[in-house]
Amino acid sequence: MDKDKGKDTSKDKDKDKDKDKDKDKDKDKDKDKDKDKDKEGRLAPSGRSSIRNPAPQQELELKLEQEQEQEMEQEQELAREPQLEQELELVLVRHGHTQWNKERRYLGSTDLPLLPEARQQLSALSDQPALGGEFWRVYCSDLLRCRETLVAVAPHLERQANYDSRLRELDFGAWEGCNYDQLKDNGHYRSWIDHPELVTPPEGEAWEEFEARVDDFWAQLVQEFELRSMDDGMPCLEASKPRVVPPAVVPPAEVSPVPISTVAVPPVPILSSGVPLAPDSPPNPPPPRVLIVTHGGIIRLLLARLTEGVTFYTAAAPAPGEVTVLNLLKDEGAWRMMPREV
């Protein structure tokens, strides 16, 4: 028994020695790790981490996030800045009397001249304040009766005029030159009177085409106005030769297809001017002015587009030779005739 105990004791001693050796090895490993850390610390640049830089994808995502934050800050800054109001004075002139107007016949694309007496009546309008002064733009239907009207009421603006086929009246097709008594028993005509947006005159212009070309004209005018070059707070006037816009792809067009309403839309004045002021310019300069010489149907459609609560059917067509002045204000991205605040 004692011999075995002695053997066991020696075995235990051997085990203890093995444990001590393992501990020594672990200590040596720890020392090696500490040396490696010291080396990394000495190799790493001063003030910088020894950890490797993030992957390129992470750097790109971080850069994009920073750019997005900068864009948001810029947008917020712009939103806090006061926005200048934009104003525009629109002077609309319906052409003078023709023979067909006098006889109450449908007159659309047919190119008739003015009556001789109509020219004399229109010449008297040239003294109206609305037709005096300077205009930023002058537009005119390219049909003869409108061209003659422009010469009669504002001869000094003829060289500045842009003759545009989009400003023609609705084309009544086979009904051109007819009067109500000649068409009142025609079922197609009766349907057109009730729903001109759905029914098209034979060989005439569809309502959607009529609206599309007028809307296209207005969109272009607004775009040019908003991108205009400024001189002393006012748009630069162009004294150039008359420019003629070729006829549109859609058929040419002319007058009001539905019975004229008696609801009048009087011009409504507006308050302040939204034209940016140039240095040393007088306060509250007048808004830019646009003259449009056109037809009754075009004027009614523009009134419907620019006047709150007014439609083509409720807008009153002006009489031949009548002048309508609209003071417009851009409100929430849309141009509207705004009432004066009390």
For position 270, what pLDDT does the model report?
31
For position 55, what pLDDT does the model report?
66
pLDDT tens digit string along 59-93?
888 888 888 888 888 777 655 544 456 899 999 99
pTM of the entire predicted model? 0.64
How many helices (H) and strands (E) the chain has is answered by 9, 9
For position 49, what pLDDT does the model report?
46
pLDDT tens digit string along 227-285?
874 444 444 434 334 444 444 433 333 444 443 333 333 433 333 333 344 445 455 67
For position 36, what pLDDT does the model report?
55
For position 182, what pLDDT does the model report?
97
| Helix ranges, 44-55 (H) | none
Residue whose pair of structure tokens reads 């300069």 in the numeric block? 285
Average pLDDT, the chain: 76
For position 171, what pLDDT does the model report?
98
Catalytic residues: 95, 169
Which stretches in the chain have pLDDT values below 50?
1-3, 5, 7, 42-51, 81-83, 229-279, 281, 340-342
> Burial letters for 188-207: b for 16+ Cβ neighbours within 10 Å, e otherwise?
ebeebbeebeebbbeebbbb
The token pair that represents 207 in the structure block? 């309502």
For position 275, what pLDDT does the model report?
38
